[in-house]
Structures are given as structure tokens and as C-alpha cells.
A and B are shown apart, each in its own frame.
Chain A
């Protein structure tokens, strides 16, 4: 077993790890670590590996469907869109850059754009990383460039430590298609309070990120 570990590629490990989860009664939904997910996307990009795609699908499609339903899509539409998002993951895997974004962040942005395209029939204006007009970021020290996945994991932990009133507002911003003033109305709070609580939440998350850098 340990011999096999030593010669295996990261992908084999991911498959072994995730397949184990599959076979041990996890049902149709796998749990992948952030590292697993990034490896699988890269595997799709380099070799078009369908098994890697299937593992990602089992992990993300049910979560995407839940996210889309939460935002008001009916069951059929949510399922359709979740499938479309995963097809986009397959097609654009080569654009994934783990230094820029963690796997779930990248997939979240694809879902956000797809939802808007489909439900509002708007085209979501997105930045183009190849845009000649793009002002590049200042160069960072090498130890700070490999941090996207790590930042994502930290944020995931940090979000759970927010005071309830802040995390509620944050979740509403992400999961209900509502402006701040609509949220304020729904919670019966002044708009200023909603804004300042959100600002506090974001400032707190930012401090937590900076503390570990």
C-alpha cells in the first residue's frame, strides 16, 4: 500500500481517495478536499479525463443544484443549470489557474454567470484575463502567490466564526437575488444598518486573512 502511494501520481491518489468515499456509502455525492478538486480540474485540462470529471460532478453538481434552488430556480431548471455549469467546467478546465482561485471559487463564478445568463437573460460582463487593457497586479513575493486555495480554506473557516447577524446578512447577499435595500426591507432593518453590518463582516474576514499572512 505504501509502495503504491510512493509511485502514484497525485491524480491516482485523488481517485483512490474519492473512489473510497464513493464505495463506502456516500451515495451520489462525494466529498472532495479543495486540493482534490483542483487536481481533478487540472487532470481534465491536461488529458480530458472523464473519470476525473465524474468525481467532480458527484461533488459539485448536487451543491450547485442546491445553490441554484436557493436562488429561486425550480427543481428542473436548477438541475439543468447545474449540468450546464459542469459542462462549462469540462470545456474551460484549461483556464483554471489554482494560483488565482480555488476550485470551488472558480466553479462558483461559473454558476453565478450561468444563472444570470439563464434567468435574467442578461449577459454578465466579466473581466477578460487576456485583455490588453488589464492593469496587472503588482508582483507579489513568491510565498504569497500559491495561496488561493489556502485563502479559500481560511475563508471557509472564518465565515463560520462571524456573529450570527453578520453571517445571516452575508448569506442573504450570496443566496437571495436581492439588493441591499430589499434585504433591509425583509429584515425590517434600516439600510444603513445592513450596509454597516456587511462592511463589518467583510472587514473581519479580511483581518483574519491578513493575520495569517
Chain B
């Protein structure tokens, strides 16, 4: 069971479709790992279903049904196709079982093969979803026990732990946990000593390092 589920309003924004792709990716990955949050989203989606039922029906064009009926032939219901497409071909490999499917669709299941860039020896990062305007989406790989430079945020930073753990002023965050840090938060996460910590991090404005080394790193952050 996760200790730090995504906050309610983030789950609501997911259920209603009011999130940009990077944050939606983070929430969908969290939902894969947090059954309690999944249940909550299902209830929020049920509210959407209830509101849909309540909608005052809009009139469709006269031939709408006929033209859709005519197209049904091109769209074979999936259960009628040979070889159920939803069923995986074989037993899941160890790696596939680690990375939630929404993220796996973007980065594959072998994280070590990604183009990581080192950030001061004990932290490496890899940008993904580079074409999402206004957001920076990264995987962070923090060596076991290492400290991440102290930083604040111009905007908001969402972090999902995929492996290992980190701790900061707000507590300890393990696999599946989500931390949302606002502009006011200055924090200094430290990775747990049990194993390297891998996170998915989404920021909606560039980070600002605040320590002396951090200030130096700010020069490089947008390289």
C-alpha cells in the first residue's frame, strides 16, 4: 500500500481529462501501482458517467446512425478477431513487471539502455516527452544514499517513485508514492540506502537550485 497517494485534486483532474500529457502520464503510472487511488478514480469517473446521463441530449444529424451502422463492418469487435489481442504473448518478464505500462509505452522496459546524462556523479537524468510545451518530464536515477542538490521550483514539481525510495522534509517516499512540491517548498531529497532510486519527475517550470553547488548547476540545467 502506498503511503503518499496522489492528492484528490490531481485524481479529479485525471478523471475529468484536465491534465497535460506529462502529468497524466505520471498519474496513470501512479494508478498502476496504487489500487486505492485507482478505486478513487473509478468513483470520480462514475460521477462523470452520472453527469453524462444527465446531459440534455443534443440532436444528431438525421443520417448519423445509418452512417455509423454502415461503418460497423470496418470495425470488427475485438473479441471476434483471432488471437485475443488484449492477452500478453507470454509470462511478463521481470523488467516489464517493474515499469507501469503507460510509461513503458514511451521508454521500453530496459531503463539502463536509455540515454542518461550524469548530473554531478550520483544523479543521472533522462528527458522524455520533450515536445510537451510548458513541461519538463524526466526520469531521475539517484544512487543509493545520494543527496539531490537542494532546490526550489518556479512552478510545481510532481515526483513518482518507481524504484527504491527517497526522503525529504515531507517524509519518506517509496515505490508508487507521489510528492507534489509547490513553489514555496525548498527541499533536499536523499535516496534510501536500500537500492538506487528511480523517479519520474514532471516540472511545469524549470527547477532553481539554491545551494552553492546548486547555483553553479543552474548554469547547466537548460543545456
A→B interface (CB under 8 Å): 28-29, 44-46, 48, 50, 53-54, 57-58, 60-67, 69-70, 78-79, 82-83, 86-87, 90-95, 100-109, 111-113, 115-116, 120, 122-128, 130-138, 148, 151-152, 155-156, 159, 170-171, 173-175, 177-180, 195, 198-199, 202, 205-206, 209
Contacts and interface: CB of A to CB of B under 8 A. Distances in A.
Interface of B is mostly: helix
B72 A152 contact: no
A83 B66 CA distance: 11
B24 A125 contact: yes
B64 interface: yes
Contacts of A113: 17
Nearest to B80: A48
B45 A101 contact: yes
B176 interface: yes
Contacts of B50: 104-105, 152, 155-156, 159
Nearest first, the 4 A-B pairs at minimum CB distance are A132-B92, A105-B49, A94-B79, A62-B57
Given A62-B59, A94-B79, A159-B51, A138 B35 contact: yes
B43 interface: yes
A77 B76 CA distance: 24
Contacts of A48: 77, 80
B75 A90 contact: yes
Interface stretch (B5-13, B143-151, B183-191): B5-13
Given A128-B102, A177-B18, A178-B18, 10 more contacts: A61-B60, A62-B57, A67-B52, A78-B58, A90-B77, A111-B52, A125-B25, A135-B176, A136-B35, A171-B51
Contact of A93 (B31, B52, B61, B77): B77
B51 A124 contact: no
B215 interface: no
Contacts of B12: 173, 198, 202
A152 B46 contact: yes
B16 A173 contact: yes
Given A64-B52, A109-B45, A137-B38, A29 B68 contact: no
Contacts of A198: 8-9, 12
B53 A174 contact: no
A95 B78 contact: yes
A131 B102 CA distance: 9
A109 B51 CA distance: 12
Looking at chain A's contact residues, is the secondary structure mostly helix, strand, loop, or mixed?
Answer: helix
B20 interface: yes
A153 B198 CA distance: 41
Given A116-B17, A198-B9, A133 B77 contact: no
Contact of A87 (B57, B75, B86, B99): B75
Contacts of A131: 32, 100-101
B195 interface: no
Contact of B52 (A87, A108, A127): A108
A104 to B, nearest CB: 4
B161 to A, nearest CB: 13
Contact of A130 (B8, B79, B86, B103): B86
Nearest to B92: A132
Nearest to A87: B75
B130 interface: no
Contacts of B43: 151, 155, 205-206, 209
